[in-house]
Amino acid sequence: MVAPDSAWGTDVSMRAIPTPVPPLSRERILPVQVRRNYAAGRYARAKMVLANSSRVVGVVFSGFRACVGRILPSLKPRCISIIASTALRDIPIPDIALRASSSVFLGILQIRFPGRRGDPRSKMILVSSAVKLSNNRNRTDFNLLEELYAADGAVNDFAYREVPKLSRSLFRMGLSGSFGLDQAGCREALERIQYVFWSPRMKGLTLALRDALARDRERYVVSAGPLFGYFPGAVRRAAESALRTLGVDYLDVFQLYWLGKMSAFTGAVQEEMLKLREEGKVRALGVSIHDRPRAGKLAEASILDLLMIRYNAAHPGAEQEIFPHLADRRPAVIAYTATAWRRLLRAPRGWKDRVATAGDCYRFCLTNPHVDVVLAGPRSAAELRENLAALDKGPLSPEEMVFMRAFGHAVHG
């Protein structure tokens, strides 16, 4: 049920509150009361509590701090308070009222959609919609937030994907620490990224990931495996060592690396992998593989839940040799080498047009509906931010796809 405009409109009176903004109070007060009144159908009471409070700045501060906490759950409470204070500093009182409304609407919308309350994608869209609402000077009604939520949901369908084999919705860019991203960069990445390709050699990522898993184990999908997977004993030792190092009870994905070169998919190895899954130490089984015809066969019939494959504009062969074989079992597909080891980031000999960006390469992979997640290996926080920003552009346009295929063909030679 949506509150009638007469109960929750744009005529919130702030006449009793002087301007400019007084110092922000750190008292945790009314937002919960407002949400409870709304949930119980007491719309007029919810409006009155917000509009007539003599401590409205405290309401705003605690509500906005809650929004920040939802986006950046790993930050310490003091850091969240500083961010909230900075964001609300020097804002005129009427605008503060709008921001208070947006944080309250965030809670209300989660009440309206209780089945999606725990979905990270939904939370991020809710916050985005609430921020847009706070900047709208003409309408602050609940219907507008629902419209924004629906619009943002359509855009974010590109950035998020329901992955049945992993039993969750995932942000479609994954993180690999293979290229030396430092611990601070890894912590920043884990604020948004959920799928993590990890090995104990990734020191900066290990420390950041341990802390993230301790805070919210269910948010992340962690993939690990043995450096060499030729024998069942090595497979088991690698799994159990990863559990101890990360301080967790299970791995989301346990995979063999570079099948045929660094591992062997023998009967004994498969049996050991199945035992680990039956024991609850791992939840999904996968491999990384460059042999595309063999990958197509494994997609059709095997114990595997996930395939990690080379796929990029210079090496698009998976479109013919792997993707047509996914339909029956639908294993998860993780694309890596999106930039072809950075070859797609520089012009090949004789190329006169522009050069692709890393963002173009990631969007190329994710524009294909068969790819669930693409791995990124940023070397710095600046590269990380550029990669994440690229996903906000959505899928490649037809013109961009034509360019990427032509450029990839030229790079491949």
pTM of the complete model: 0.67
pLDDT for residue 244 is more than 70: yes
Average pLDDT, the chain: 76
Query: Which of the 8 DSSP states describes residue 75?
Result: S
pLDDT digits (tens, 9 = 90+) for 343-382: 999 999 999 999 999 999 999 999 999 999 999 999 999 9
Pair of tokens at residue 178: 């293979």
Residue 186: pLDDT band with limits 50, 70, 90: very high
pLDDT digits (tens, 9 = 90+) for 301-322: 999 999 999 999 999 999 999 9
Query: Which amino acid belongs to residue 110?
Result: Q
> How far is the C-alpha of 367 from the C-alpha of 403, rounded, in Å?
14
Residue 198: pLDDT band with limits 50, 70, 90: very high
Which residues have C-beta within 8 Å of that of residue 256, sequence separation ≥ 6? 225, 226, 229, 235, 262, 263, 265, 269, 273, 286, 287, 288
Residue of higher predicted confidence among 64 and 233 = 233
Looking at residue 113, its pLDDT comes to 44
What is the full DSSP assignment across 130-184?
A: HHHHHT-SS---HHHHHHHHHHHHHHHTTTEEEEGGGTEEEESEEEE-TT---HH
For tokens 């019939």, what's the residue?
301
What does the domain layout of the chain look like in residue ranges?
31-156, 160-412
Residue 40: pLDDT band with limits 50, 70, 90: low
pLDDT for residue 35 is more than 90: no
Mean per-residue pLDDT, 153-169: 78
Assess if CATH 3.20.20.100 describes domain 160-412.
yes
pLDDT digits (tens, 9 = 90+) for 201-234: 999 999 999 999 999 899 999 999 999 999 999 9
Partners of 228 in beta bridges: none
pLDDT digits (tens, 9 = 90+) for 326-341: 999 999 999 999 999 9
pLDDT digits (tens, 9 = 90+) for 70-88: 544 544 555 545 444 444 4
Q: Using omega within 30 degrees of 0 as the cis cutoff, is the peptide bond preceding 20 cis?
A: yes
Residue 53: pLDDT band with limits 50, 70, 90: very low
pLDDT for residue 18 is more than 80: no
Query: Which of the 8 DSSP states describes residue 3?
Result: P
% of the chain at pLDDT higher than 70: 62
Looking at residue 10, its pLDDT comes to 31
Residue 55: pLDDT band with limits 50, 70, 90: very low
Looking at residue 169, its pLDDT comes to 85
Which residues have C-beta within 8 Å of that of residue 24, sequence separation ≥ 6? 57, 58, 60, 61, 84, 85, 88, 89
% of the chain at pLDDT higher than 90: 55
Looking at residue 64, its pLDDT comes to 52
> How far is the C-alpha of 382 from the C-alpha of 185, rounded, in Å?
9
Mean per-residue pLDDT, 399-408: 96
Looking at residue 254, its pLDDT comes to 98
Partners of 169 in beta bridges: 162
pLDDT digits (tens, 9 = 90+) for 96-151: 444 444 444 445 444 444 444 344 445 444 445 544 544 544 444 444 444 544 44
CA atoms within 13 Å, Cβ hemisphere of 353:
13
